[in-house]
Chains A and B, each alone.
Chain A
Amino acid sequence: MGGWIKKQLILLIGIGIAALGIYIGAKSGVDYKDFQIIGSRNLIWILAQTMLLFAAFILAVPVFVLIIEVAGYIKKDERLDKLAKDFARLLPVSYSITAVLGGLFTLATYTLFPKFMNYMTGVFKPTYIVFVVLIFLESTAVYIYWTTWDRLGGQKKLQHIVIGLILNILGTLVMMTANIWGSFHLSPAGVDAAGKLLSLKDAIFNFTFWPINIHRFIANVSFGGFICASYAAYKYLSAITPEERAHYDWMGYTGTFIGVVTMIFLPFAGYYFGMEIYSFNAQMGITFMGGALSKIWLLQAIVIAVIYLGICYYLWLGLDRIPGSEKYKKYVPYLSWTMIFAFAVWATPRAWVASLEDMAGGMHPIFGTVGIMAPKIAAVNVAILGVILTFLLNRRAGRIIPDGRKVYVYIQWIIILLIVAVNLVVLYYSYIVPSATRIKLSIYTFLFMVPAIALIYLFDGLLLKGAQRVGEIRWGNMAPRSQYALIIVAVSNVWAMALLGYGRAAARLNWHIYGVLEDTSKYAGLPSLGDATLVISGITLLFLTLIGLVFKITGEGGREGAR
């Protein structure tokens, strides 16, 4: 019990700071205050994004831990259970940091933007109370989950998994409560033109509420996987004994696996989010996709390309440690060039005017033909397929396929060719049919792709069920460059989250709450993309330093406990 109170103390401090902020805001009487040197907008930006990254982390780790724990329970694999526990160890400290950051963020916003935040209090006071109750429950669940890990082992493991499930449900509810406010800024509902609250229910379930929930949830799990993988990479690089290396190599692979499997569904969630923005307000949709913020997508394409290629690169190199993979490895260069080409198409800017010498102005046919949405969607689908093929290669390499199962391979090929064919046909039609039909076509393509991908995995499972290996996987025999690839992937992942977080907030332009509460401070506009990327890079480094600190604190604690 004493431990529990100690753990709650920092949470209480965080809430205390937040409450102080709300009090200062209510008493403030001015519209805006400025913050010295870096400006109030940048301060809020940095605090909010760092806090959100931590929040993503503490949401992701329990999901991730639970997945591994359940996998370990089903497969009766002690190793998985140990890995899950290693990660659960990070939770208490991360919670504390998030609580403090959350408190500081609330304090800063209420002090510097009192008009805006007081309005939010007026509309959402009930949800604030719900939020506080939920985080108390959640942090209690974390405490119970962590302290009962060993006590509820063996026969009682199922009980422990149930606690983990409850923890995850609470965590998701906390995220959803926080998403109410963020999505309301973007697409307010339930208020009249003057901003008076008509229906709290409408305000909560606004247009972008569910898309943000889904998008964030998937992204968070994927993010957790990559952070885990990069931690393993770091440990791998500084490991001394072969056993350690083997363990961290395997851990990096597991983290990457979870990260990628979830990441494949992210584009679909993103399109859903985009669609809801368009149906909320076409003007905002255009701002986001083609107007003032269109350059974000140029950067996003580069970052996502780095992430996908980095993962695939890691997996391609990983073939080296699988005996019997030689006959598959010769296909890898073709795969890599196909993916490079797909990403080049995806990143082709529509909005890049050439200099005068180039004569073409905005009119070069490549901008018009490749720069628009249809070929990009096809390219992303091809890239996703490339990731899936890489995975299949990794699974199949070094396995002896039993007789009579060859048919599954043919079925997989048929599905893959079908996906390619559907994408090509849709691409061809996209140029000749009206836009409304085109958008529908792309939705049908996604609806076709998701089950098709699932089927590929299903047949792969059937194909490899109980298949023998040529030899054991030589864990721990990875070139260091593959581990650096994992680290780059994790850094890019954080950067991408910060970039798109900025994009979502910036889509409001000069509004605090789009169309309801206008930003009349001197920070109402948007910074140039260059300035924004500098802040984003700073946030990324800050977050990585803090998370490194968490790993360091808990890592040492764990070692002492082992002694």
Chain B
Amino acid sequence: MKGGTKLMIVAVIVTGLYAWFGNSIPQSAWDAPKKKVLTPDMTPKKLAEEGREIFRKAGCGVCHSITGEKLRGADLSRVGAERDAETMAFMLYSGTDVMPAANKPPANLNDSEITALIAYLQSLGGKPKVKIGDIKPPQGMGDVSSAQKPPSQKEAGK
């Protein structure tokens, strides 16, 4: 039995040393990327500001310019005046041959984020008008079917 105790002491010392070393180097936890909380009481203007951030982060600017310049995708500098919210929503949810849908990877936005994005797009050459809840995903394209939720948990129609 005495041998067993000795063994355990060695084990505690060795694992303790590793844990000490692990704690001695500077620490940083990795936090999951925060999803912005977007609530229905946010004004369209506020929503548009969040949308600008989403536009940047989601990588829209890789193809779309907002300055009138022609990149790979359409120029969006006046999109707010040219398209209504429903058209934008349809484009974003369904994507095209060359543009991945916004609710699927790589952008992988949820319904509220897409609404905010639309508010931002409306602000380009126009005034943001939509609020959270105004934009309904086209039939069967909402974020319930996206990567966020497994198929068994569909809450379609909500």
A residues near B, CB below 8 A?
31, 115, 118-119, 122, 193-196, 234, 237-238, 292, 295, 298-299, 302-303, 306, 352-353, 484, 487-488, 491-492, 495, 509-510, 515-520, 524-534, 536-537, 540-541, 544-545, 548, 552
Report if A526-B29 is in contact (Cβ < 8 Å); known contacts: A193-B146, A299-B22, A515-B147: yes
A-B contact count (CB 8 A): 121
Find out whether the CB atom of A118 lies under 8 angstroms from the CB atom of B152.
yes
Find out whether the CB atom of B150 lies under 8 angstroms from the CB atom of A540.
no
Residue of B nearest to A197 (CB): B151
Which of B21, B30, B104 makes the CB contact (< 8 A) with A299? Answer: B21
Does B3 interact with chain A (Cβ within 8 Å)?
yes
Does B6 interact with chain A (Cβ within 8 Å)?
yes
B residues near A, CB below 8 A?
2-4, 6-8, 10-12, 14-16, 18-19, 21-23, 25-33, 104-105, 145-148, 150-153
B116 smallest CB distance to A (angstroms): 19
Find out whether the CB atom of B18 lies under 8 angstroms from the CB atom of A195.
no
Find out whether the CB atom of A119 lies under 8 angstroms from the CB atom of B150.
yes
Find out whether the CB atom of A510 lies under 8 angstroms from the CB atom of B151.
no
Q: Which residues of A sit under 8 angstroms from B105, Cβ to Cβ?
A: 193, 515
Q: Show 15 A/B contacts (Cβ-Cβ < 8 Å), sorted by A.
A: A31-B153, A118-B152, A194-B145, A487-B7, A488-B10, A509-B30, A509-B32, A515-B105, A525-B32, A528-B27, A529-B25, A533-B21, A537-B19, A540-B11, A552-B4
Find out whether the CB atom of A533 lies under 8 angstroms from the CB atom of B22.
yes
Report if A194-B33 is in contact (Cβ < 8 Å); known contacts: A495-B18, A529-B27, A537-B19: no
Q: Which residues of A sit under 8 angstroms from B33, Cβ to Cβ?
A: 510
Q: Which residues of B sit under 8 angstroms from A298, Cβ to Cβ?
A: 25
Residue of B nearest to A496 (CB): B18
Further pairs besides A487-B10, A548-B8: 20, Cβ < 8 Å: A115-B153, A122-B150, A193-B104, A193-B146, A193-B147, A194-B145, A238-B3, A292-B30, A298-B25, A302-B18, A488-B10, A517-B150, A525-B29, A525-B32, A529-B27, A533-B21, A534-B23, A541-B8, A541-B11, A552-B4
B147 smallest CB distance to A (angstroms): 6
Q: Which residues of B sit under 8 angstroms from A118, Cβ to Cβ?
A: 150, 152
Rounded to whole angstroms, the CA-CA distance of A545 and B4 in the bound complex is 10
Q: Which residues of A sit under 8 angstroms from B28, Cβ to Cβ?
A: 528
